Structure 1
Amino acid sequence: MSATIYDTPEHELLRDQVARFLAREVEPHAAAWEETGMVPRDVLRRMGQAGLMGIAFEGEYGGADADALTNLVFAEALSQSTFAGFIITVLVHTDMAGPHLHHAGTPAQKAKYLLRVTAGELITAVGISEPGAGSDVAGMRTTARRDGDDWVINGTKMFITNGVHGDLYFVAAKTGTARHDMSMFIVEKGTPGFTVGRALKKTGWLSSDTAELVFDNVRIPADNLLGEEGKGFYSVMKNFQTERVALGAMAIGHCTQALKLTLDYVRQRQAFGAPLWDQQTIRQRLSMLDAKVRAARQFMYHCAWSVTQGHDIVQEVSMLKALTGELVNEVVQTCQQFHGGMGFIRETAIERLWRDARVLAIGGGATEVMLEEVAKRY
């Protein structure tokens, strides 16, 4: 990965640490995880022991108090793996679910859970999407009603990463009649009435587990309310900014690896008596794609830097999510095309990247929704 104007020596050390972890713990084994449909828990615990399962969290709870730029460096470094199921398993924990506890948890909630979250002992998931409400968060139907000293949750969540093998779930539910009146709750695995409806079979991200979650009169203590009652919608919207930057990093990582694999391949692959690289159209298309990726990467880092400056960048992050979600599909599909028949063989990294890239234009906010978020802020 080339340097950016925002880099520090600490960023380079973090990139090196993540690269070593990937080379030692992930790349030699992750093909087997694709078959089993999950990342082994001992690998995630070793990530926690290495200090890589919550660097943005407070130091007193095992984090490193990392700012948005450093957190982006981590997400992009992690995304140099070609196994996106592993990447998303971690990023959901560190950037999409865990931050709800980090931002809104009470001291008692953090003391109970957060040290074990950063240690990789408790794997987290966030329950927002539903069968009829994905990008339209306010359209959810899951409800939570107060009953004495408890809350009782009823409803169904869909497309929940880490849903099958997670331990700690941060669940959004309607707590009033107004469209945006919802709250967040902490639900532990094993709570009576809380079940995995089914594990979902996906086209890509095969080594991550994805589930439908069912809440049937799930009774939890009132202390499991996460943040303010009725303010959950705004917590979700705030956390989407972190999530979308992380997904942008994942997309840029896929682009970087696809271009690297393809440049190596076309220089070696002979066709009509010469390497494919000698074909002008191939050289030029790869060059243009690389230019687009480098430009998007610099924009991504600018977004993270803007967060560190306290700027409101909902519009820019929405642009980033839309841009990178579409770009990764353009890059990976073109690179797959240049691999010819080998690009369609399941054992190849480029074929895996092609399958895994598709969801990046959908998950975390579909491109069309992101562009509407951009347009209404002009």
Structure 2
Amino acid sequence: MAVLLLVFSCKEEKKIKKVKKSPKNEVTTVEPKKEIEGRILSEIQSDFLKQLVIEEIGQQKYDNLQTEKAPYSVHFTNDGDPYSVRFDIIKEQDFNDDGIIDYVVLRDSSGMLGGNANTNQDYIYYIMKDEIYYKEAHSILGYAPFSYNIIDEAKFEGDTLKVKITQNFRTYMEDLKSASLSFVYTNGNLYEESYLSDCKLAQLDSKTIFNDIPEITKRIRSIEMHNYCETIGEVYEKDDVFIRADLGGCDNLSLTFSTYYDVEKSKLKNAAFRKNTTLELLNFLSANTQFSEEIDVMIEYYEQNPVTDKSIETVEGYSFRVLIQQNDPKKNELRFLVQLEKIDNPYQKENWEIATRNKTAPQENEDY
């Protein structure tokens, strides 16, 4: 532990300088990897990457640590299934114009085999709160064994990350398609540019789920790593009530709410109790969120029908269910999971269709 603390000893706080942005037509190449090996980082860059390595290590055991030259790396023994994680800065820029330099980091993890869960890659935007610590992290998945897509090429053109993706052969098996995408940080979030121009949900009047009420303790916007749509996550907390809310989708709204109830043992499997509690929850959500119109559709249905785990597909333009589970048999506790999808585009049901903002029937589609 003493060695680790010595290696990552903190530097004195330095005055934050605003760095001039790169010209829009400047091209910063992410690949080939040889260009970033053996690179000496500035003191500020080094302190930042070391902090990411500390975060990666956590409580894990490691046997090799390299923080002399970029990319910085750490090797984990992992009980006979060893892997290494490497970090390097591929772009630095003040993306949110607050006077503090932000970073895009290539995180590359390599396990024993290509299909190993520890073999993965991410392009991560870190929006900084000071020179060392970040306040936002937005990840674009480059590769994972059974990811939907693989990033084949990536380069910066000015402040825009241009990538070429191909369907993952482990997931799609054959007739693999490719597409070109571009990512920008704007309006307080990381966006794939076609989301802003081609997705209905980009036009939401409010970037929130719950109304503006004091019980909302967390609001986070980010990007979905597979289909590159904006995500919104929020938390409602009051007394012993905790509700997690999540929103995503391109043309089709995907909305979920999750909460837990302490229940008398005799009511755990009581159908009437489950239905009454479901309706109470849905009425609360209708009154306190931006989506009362959509939630009211569920209320109307469940007022006339039993609450089961079955997904309801009979209401035109909607798909929804309320999943009620006792996750721990030792606890008299039920989890209520509300799942709601409003279907405005029936041709965006699968991940590739969403990622490429598909608008037409499959047989009409051309390769991207």
Report the TM-score range of the alignment, normalised by the length of the smaller protein.
under 0.3
Structure with bigger RCO (C-alpha 8 Å, 6+ apart): 1
Question: Which has the larger strand fraction?
Answer: 2
Question: Which has the larger helix fraction?
Answer: 1
Per the normalisation by structure 1, the TM-score is 0.25
Per the normalisation by structure 2, the TM-score is 0.25
